[in-house]
Amino acid sequence: MIPLAIPNLAGNERQYLNECIDTTFVSTVGPFVTRFESQISEASGYAHTVATSAGTTGLHAALVAVGVTPGDLVITPGLSFIATANAVAHAHAQPWLVDINEHSWTLDPEALARALKEKTTPGKDGLPVHRPTGKRVSAIVPVYTLGMPADMDAIAAIAREYRLPIVADAAAGLGARYKDRPLGDMGADLTMFSFNGNKTVTAGGGGAISGNDRKLVNLVRHLTTTARVGADYDHDRVGFNYRMTNLQAAVGCAQMELLDRFVEKKRAISRFYDESFKDLPATRPFPSPEFAHSACWFSGFVLESGDSASLRQALRAQGVAARPFWKPLNHQVPFADAPRDALRVCENIWNRIVTLPCSTGITDDELATVVAAVRREVLGK
Ligand SMILES: Cc1ncc(COP(=O)(O)O)c(C=O)c1O
Per-residue pLDDT reduced to its tens digit, 304-328: 999 999 999 999 999 999 999 999 9
Q: DSSP letter string over 46-88?
A: -SEEEEES-HHHHHHHHHHHTT--TT-EEEEESBS-HHHHHHH
Contact 329, 82 (CB under 8 A): yes
CA of 22 to the centre of ligand 1 (A): 31
79 lines ligand 1 (CB under 6 A): no
- Residue from 52, 79, 81 to probe ligand 1 pocket by mutation (most atoms less than 8 Å from CB): 81
323 forms beta bridges with: 355
Indicate the residue type of 127: L
Per-residue pLDDT reduced to its tens digit, 124-149: 999 999 999 999 999 999 999 999 99
Q: Is the pLDDT of residue 381 over 70?
A: no
CA-closest residue to ligand 1 atom 7? 55
| 178-187 mean pLDDT | 98
53 lines ligand 1 (CB under 6 A): no
CA of 93 to the centre of ligand 1 (A): 18
Which pLDDT band holds residue 9 (cuts at 50, 70, 90)? very high
Per-residue pLDDT reduced to its tens digit, 42-89: 999 999 999 999 999 999 999 999 999 999 999 999 999 999 999 999
CA-closest residue to ligand 1 atom 4? 83
DSSP state of 184: G
| 115-132 mean pLDDT | 97
The number of the ligand 1 atom at minimal distance from the alpha carbon of 56 is 11
CA of 320 to the centre of ligand 1 (A): 24
DSSP state of 146: G
Look at the domain 13-256 and name its fold. Aspartate Aminotransferase; domain 2 (3.40.640)
Look at the domain 259-380 and name its fold. Aspartate Aminotransferase, domain 1 (3.90.1150)
The number of the ligand 1 atom at minimal distance from the alpha carbon of 194 is 10
Per-residue pLDDT reduced to its tens digit, 92-111: 999 999 999 999 999 999 99
Which pLDDT band holds residue 380 (cuts at 50, 70, 90)? confident
Q: DSSP letter string over 276-341?
A: HHTT-TTEEEPP--TTEE----SEEEEESSS-HHHHHHHHHHTTB--B--PPBGGGSGGGTTS-B-
| Domain boundaries of the chain, sorted by first residue | 13-256, 259-380
- Residue from 194, 350, 353, 355 to probe ligand 1 pocket by mutation (most atoms less than 8 Å from CB): 194
CA-closest residue to ligand 1 atom 8? 55
User: How far is Cα 80 from Cα 262, in angstroms, rounded to an integer?
Assistant: 23
CA of 239 to the centre of ligand 1 (A): 21
Per-residue pLDDT reduced to its tens digit, 339-351: 999 999 999 999 9
99 lines ligand 1 (CB under 6 A): no
Using a 10 angstrom Cβ sphere, with 0-12 exposed, 13-18 middle and 19 or more buried, the burial of residue 239 is middle
Q: 217-226: long-range contacts (C-beta < 8 A, 24 or more apart)? A: 217/47, 217/48, 217/49, 217/50, 217/190, 218/48, 219/65, 220/50, 220/58, 220/61, 220/62, 220/65, 220/190, 221/50, 223/61, 223/64, 223/65, 224/50, 224/52, 224/53, 224/57, 224/58, 224/61, 225/28
C-alpha separations of 171 from 59, 192, 196, 248 in Å: 10, 6, 9, 16
